[in-house]
Amino acid sequence: MAVASQIVTSLLQGNQRAVAKAITHVEDGTSEAEKITALLYPHTGKAQVIGITGSGGVGKSTLIEKLVRELRRGGKTVGVIAVDPTSPFSGGAFLGDRIRMQDLSTDEGVFIRSMATRNNPGGLARATMDTVRILDASGKDIILIETVGAGQSEVDIIKIAPTVVVVLAPGFGDAIQTIKAGIMEIGDIFVINKADRESADKAVINIRAMLQLGTQRGKWIPPIVKTTATTGAGVSELLEKIGEHREYLSKGEASQRQRRIVREELEEAIKRKTAEHILTALQKEGELDNLISKLLSKEIDPMSAAEEALNRILTRSKRR
């Protein structure tokens, strides 16, 4: 317990190194990770968590950079989580981008982290959720999460962020895949970036039409904001809308959405815990190899094998 509680005590005081350590634990899925997240859980729930999503090339990263600078001017502390592998925040971008962002990373009021999952495949969504909690508990006022697309990617931003900003570029609004990927359904706020391009107004009209076709969730009508991230135009209006959405959420809608997010997470946790429990039990009895062999020889199919495994555990615990 010592390691986990030391890290948590320190990160609750806002210590950046402790924050970084905690994130590494959740990324690597170490044995301390679970203790850390359990310890800091009661200290979470204060930050506003905002997902910034959109395809590559629409200018999400530059927009986030400008949002961070504007928030800092207003005295807010900010956490940035880059799940988009092509984000300059992840280091996987042009040198120029990285140099431009360097002064942000030396600001004590900003914590930037890109998520990697090499050591913990499949755990990206959970690691991202845990990182949000860590930044929240460490006292960051606003947490921005940069992801690519929706539904198709491992990190489903709507399961993590109560406010989702969808960033589009002019011309993109016409594309069929926008609707297909379900991106229209997840946005609380839409941004047409690169609004200096001439087709920007057409894009706004297209998006509005699509929004009217879709089903409305609650009473919130998603606003459409035009920005030019490179110059910073429209960024303060976007922040205003983000603030309005927070206010809207605080008036009741939040609880429903928060309930759904928490339920999803509980479901995930149950899946993990139970699978761990069952697999360990099966392995101990040598039954796992047996089941795998039966699957390979097509004697049984995976779902029936899973059912057999579950019944085995339930029966066994009865006999205990």
Q: Is residue 30 within the footprint of a copy of itself (CB under 8 A)?
A: no
Residue in 90, 128, 138, 206 binding a copy of itself, rule: CB under 8 A? 90
Smallest gap, in angstroms, from Cβ of residue 279 to a copy of itself? Answer: 6
Q: How far is the C-alpha of 192 from the C-alpha of 203, rounded, in Å?
A: 7
Nearest to 143 by CA among 224, 192, 82: 82
Q: How far is the C-alpha of 131 from the C-alpha of 242, rounded, in Å?
A: 21
Q: Is residue 209 within the footprint of a copy of itself (CB under 8 A)?
A: no
- Give residues with Cβ within 8 angstroms of 225, minimum separation 6: 189, 190, 191, 192, 234, 237, 238, 241
Nearest to 107 by CA among 72, 139, 80: 72
Which of 52/235 has CB closer to a copy of itself? 52
In Å, what is the CA distance from 284 to each residue of 40, 102, 312?
A: 33, 51, 13
Region near a copy of itself per CB under 8 A, out of 9-17, 193-201, 223-231, 291-299: 291-299
Region near a copy of itself per CB under 8 A, out of 105-113, 225-233, 240-248, 308-316: 308-316
**Strands 110-114 and 78-82, sheet pairing:** parallel
- Give residues with Cβ within 8 angstroms of 245, minimum separation 6: 163, 188, 189, 220
Which of 78/183 has CB closer to a copy of itself? 183
Q: Is residue 85 within the footprint of a copy of itself (CB under 8 A)?
A: yes
Phi, psi of 51 (to 5 degrees): -90, 135
Q: Is residue 102 within the footprint of a copy of itself (CB under 8 A)?
A: no
**Strands 142-147 and 78-82, sheet pairing:** parallel
Residue in 5, 13, 31, 177 binding a copy of itself, rule: CB under 8 A? 177
Strand partners, 189: 165
Residue in 19, 104, 124, 242 binding a copy of itself, rule: CB under 8 A? 124
Residue in 2, 121, 198, 286 binding a copy of itself, rule: CB under 8 A? 121
Q: Is residue 99 within the footprint of a copy of itself (CB under 8 A)?
A: no
In Å, what is the CA distance from 292 to each residue of 284, 298, 300, 316?
A: 14, 10, 9, 20
Which of 43/72 has CB closer to a copy of itself? 43
Q: Is residue 205 within the footprint of a copy of itself (CB under 8 A)?
A: no
Region near a copy of itself per CB under 8 A, out of 100-108, 153-161, 164-172, 219-227: 153-161
Residue in 217, 221, 263, 285 binding a copy of itself, rule: CB under 8 A? 263
Which of 17/180 has CB closer to a copy of itself? 180
x/- track of binding to a copy of itself for residues 215-254 (CB under 8 A): ----------------------------------------
